[in-house]
Structure 1
Amino acid sequence: MIYNTKKFKLVALAAALMATGAAQAANGQFADIAKLEPLTGNTTAPSNWRFFSGQTFNGVKGALDGVARLSFTSSDGHGYACSGSLLAGGQYVLTAAHCADDFTKMTVQFGWQGGTAAVTRSVAVGSAYINKAWQGAETSLDAGSDMAILKLDTAVTGIKGYKLSTTNDVGKDYLMAGYGTTQKATTNSATNWNDGDYGHYAYNTFDVDSKSFNKAVDEHVAGWGYDAAFYAPGTTYMSDFDSGQANNNTLARLAGVTGNQWGSGLGLGANEGLIAGGDSGGGDFVWNGTEWLLSGVHSWGWQGKSACNLIGGMTGCDVAALNGSSYGDLSGSTATFSHVAWINSVTAVPEPETYAMMIAGLALVGVARRRKQA
């Protein structure tokens, strides 16, 4: 789905991808799949970036086994694809709000490789909990509220779910994963599902948060219209797709326009990548020395050429105009640390003595239906 949100000031490409091949924008326009960003990039084939069940990252076997493939039907009858992350305990999946705020049927799969899943679950319509600050993509994209929790019909066992990062992780490198479209970063052609039978991974760095970015731009670009209240719901991490060349380092070049209020390196070399259409809701994981913590939820993508032009009047950030995966593009992920309390309020399992107190309380006040929007 592609959304144009006035608060964000620039057209951001939300990374949920319509399975039929075209996505309807919130403003009534249509966009080709070529406009959506791929997860895998660099100069190597997407097949080199596949992840598999039991694969080891930083010595952790099966580190990405909890990455979920979501396929769902919206109320208009169209099919869409997203991604998600299994939370510790195995009962819930964390994803993006724009992947869960309008569906009639939802299937969640783990261990998808070769076009077959190792584990399949479903989610009832009433078992999707949308962040209370989310008001739809036109209003809330980039505000730090693009997050939802899906309760699976049956808990997943045998796969370890992810713990949450509780710190602001700007400046940290992260491992990303999802089931979206793919392409080489230097190929000047559309992204595609040619390697769609597999999930893919890559690495990047959280360079700056959206609130800091937009505040700085507003101070140096007349009429930008920064509103601090817009970012009150939470934090969105921003990353760019770096080629190792300064010309393609979008956030560094934009930092120069705005007084160098943030930093951005030249990338992680052969490990560098960016999210894709279909990767919305997937996870960004930071390493704490012993395990991978879920730090961000994929929310949007943004072609770097437009950012350079609109903010700094610059050209040359985007290395391949026809390829949304090209070096110079940007992405945003909703930070988990902003929503730990809300996530825990939905997923917490009461201790036995708490159940006893709840039962006693229900005898007095009755049973209240749990709202879909927690």
Structure 2
Amino acid sequence: MTIQSKILKLAAVAASLFAATAAHAGAGDGLTPLTGNTSAPSNWRFTPGQTFNGVAGALDGVARLSFSNSGGNWACSGSLLAGGQYVLTAAHCADDFTSMKVDFGWANGTATVSRTVAVGSAYVNPNWDGTLDTGADIAILKLNTAVTSIQGYKLSTTNDVGKTFLMAGYGTTSNGTTGGGTNWNDGAWGHYGYNTFDIDSATFNKITDQYVPGWGYEDEWYAPGVTYMSDFDDGTAQHNTLGRIAGATGNNWSSGLGLGANEALIAGGDSGGGDFVWNGTEWILSGVHSWGWQGGACAIYGLTGCDLASTNSSSIGDMSGSTATFSHIAWINSVTAVPEPATYGMMLSGLALVGAMARRRRQQQSGK
């Protein structure tokens, strides 16, 4: 059994986004949520201009993606990059769409700023082959018009394993301590929370050294790129999934017992959203939400009781993975940088090739 056979594709949850009837939540500040994630999702909403760690509007650049293809209507999240022209998201949110709308400042069912993305303006990482947890689940969307009223995010250029991060997205919600599944009941708002990058999955696979018949060892088929792995802790050793797996495989990494009331995990529709680390003066984009793994992980190592609720894909004991930005800086810059006039010809040729590869991949994946 492999990570690939167990992960849940988070992006694209085929569901209607409907207006919430709950009252507006006030803005919070610092590193403390209004309440913990064990309370109602309405307590975890973020709103335009909200302050985090002294930065007003820290999450204003989080994007809500709604798009369509032959399979229906789908939802993802993303992050506006510095400069305002591009949004960073997951590859599985951008490799197959016929129309896409991008909203910023989505609160109470209304956006502050909206843009669109043309089909030819999606740049999927060339190493993406449709397989999650290979380190290549990342894509760039070029907006039809740059956003100038919102501050975009700078990218982390370092491996941030061990750091606490602020996560945000426009996906489904749930109470992580219950068995109730995620839903869109609070879908008129974006939500936030905190977690820690416990380990990168390339290192995880090398240490656990899972052999897959017909494939080889997991670390041998990783694409260029890194995925951060985090678990949803409740302060107990039993539900510290990555900690228990570490113990079963030689304790070659450490995994804390969580952040108490601050702890949270992504859910369906949060795919492509951002994980932000604090550099002392601002929040910078470190990870792009890629996948969630409900239960199952402990069983591979002969462990039981890690997952609190098998009916809730974002409950205590579950895990998630985010593509690390530092491992794709060169590619991101190759797409978003404005080249000197003499280099335009070469750049356009390269992007045309990437676009052709992406189109062939979409056709193959849809059966396209």
Smaller-chain TM-score bracket: 0.7 to 0.9
| Structure 2: runs of 5 or more not aligned | 17-34, 359-368
3-state secondary structure, aligned to 2:203 = helix
Q: Provide closer, same or farther for how the CA distance between residues 367 and 343 of structure 1 changes in structure 2, counting only shifts above 3 A.
A: closer
The alpha carbon displacement at 1:370 in A equals: 3.9
Q: Does 1:327 pair with 2:316?
A: yes
Q: Within the alignment, does 1:286 sit opposite 2:277 as a pair?
A: yes
C-alpha distance 308-366 of structure 1, shift in aligned 2 (>3 A):
closer
Note the alpha carbon deviations across 1:275-308, whole angstroms, 9 max, x for none: 01000000000100001110000000001x3111
Please tell me whether the aligned partners of residues 166 and 194 of structure 2 are also in contact (alpha carbons under 8 angstroms): yes
Closer, same or farther: CA 118–227 of 1 in aligned 2, 3 Å = same
DSSP-derived class of the 1:345 partner:
helix
Of all paired residues, the percent bearing the same amino acid is 69
Separation (CA, whole Å) in 2 of partners of 1:201 and 1:119: 20
Query: Shift of the alpha carbon at 1:123?
Result: 0.3
Of the three residues 125, 129, 141, the one matched with 1:131 is 125
Which of 146, 155, 158 is the equivalent residue of 2:146? Answer: 155
What residue in structure 2 maps to residue 14 of structure 1? 9
TM-score (norm 2): 0.87
d(CA) in 1 for partners of 2:350, 2:253: 46
Give, as a single letter, the amino acid of the residue that structure 2 aligns with 1:78: G
CA distance in 1 between partners of 2:190 and 2:117 (Å): 21
Give the drift of 1:9. 4.8
User: Match of 1:91, as an amino acid?
Assistant: Q
Matched, 1:96 2:86: no
Give the match for residue 141 of structure 1. Answer: 132
How far, CA to CA, are the matches of 1:189 and 1:282 in structure 2? Answer: 23
Q: 1:185–1:327: 8 Å Cα contact kept in structure 2?
A: yes
Cα distance in 2 for residues equivalent to 1:16 and 1:160: 25
Q: How does 1:167-178 map to 2 (within 5 A)?
A: 167-178=158-169
Indicate conservation of the 8 Å contact 2:205/2:219, yes or no: no
Distance 1:366 1:88 in 2: 21
Distance 1:369-1:168 versus aligned 2 partners, 3 A rule: closer
**Aligned-pair distance for 1:326?**
1.2
Instruction: Select the residue among 219, 230, 233 that pairs with 1:228.
Output: 219
Q: Structure 1: any 5+ residue segments left out of the alignment? A: 1-5, 22-39
Residue type of the alignment partner of 2:156: S
Counterparts of 1:253 and 1:300 in 2: how far apart (Å)?
20
Matches within 5 A, 1:196-235: 196-218=187-209, 225-235=216-226
Q: Contact (CA 8 Å) 1:83, 1:95: kept in 2 or not?
A: yes
Q: SS in structure 2 opposite 1:300?
A: strand
Q: Distance in 2 between matches of 1:327 and 1:207?
A: 15
Alpha-carbon separation, structure 1, partners of 2:347 and 2:104: 38
Match of 1:52 among 35, 47, 51: 47
- Between the aligned partners of 1:275 and 1:78, the Cα distance in structure 2 is 23
Offset from partner CA, 1:172-214 (integer Å, 9 cap, x none) = 1100000000010112111110100000000000000111111
Name whichever of 11-20 and 167-176 sits farther off.
11-20
Structure 1 77/231 Cα, relative in aligned 2: closer, same or farther at 3 Å?
Answer: closer
The number of aligned residues is: 336
Give yes or no for the alignment of 1:338 onto 2:327: yes
Q: Which moved more, 1:230-239 or 1:63-72?
A: 230-239
Q: Which amino acid aligns with 1:166?
A: T
Residues 216 and 258 of structure 1 are in contact (CA less than 8 Å); yes or no, is this contact kept in structure 2?
yes
1:312 CA drift (Å): 1.8
SS of match in other structure, 2:205:
helix
Distance 2:292 2:171 in 1: 12
Q: Measure, in 1, the Cα distance between the counterparts of 2:285 and 2:97.
A: 25
Alignment partner of 2:296 out of 306, 317, 336: 306
Counterpart check, 1:109 vs 2:111: no
Deviation, 1:313, is 1.6
Q: Structure 1 41/250 Cα, relative in aligned 2: closer, same or farther at 3 Å?
A: farther
Report SS of the residue matched to 2:277: strand
Q: Classify the secondary structure of the residue corresponding to 2:65.
A: strand
Query: Taking structure 1 as reference, are residues 178 and 133 closer, same or farther at Cα in structure 2, changes over 3 Å only?
Result: same
Output the CA distance in 2 between the equivalents of 1:52 and 1:369: 39
CA contact (8 A) 1:66 1:86 kept: yes
Q: Retained in 2: the 8 A contact 1:240–1:249?
A: yes
Distance 2:255 2:181 in 1: 27
- Check if 1:246 corresponds to 2:246: no
Instruction: Work out whether residues 42 and 243 of structure 1, in 8 Å CA contact, stay in contact via their aligned partners in 2.
Output: no
* Residue 41 to residue 329, structure 1, CA distance change in 2 (3 Å): farther
Per mean C-alpha deviation after superposition, the further-off stretch among 228-237 and 118-127 is 228-237
- Residue 217 of structure 2 aligns with an amino acid whose one-letter code is Y
Write the letter of the residue equivalent to 1:99: C
Contact 1:41/1:183, CA 8 A, preserved across alignment: no
Q: How far apart in 2 are the matches of 1:180 and 1:358?
A: 40
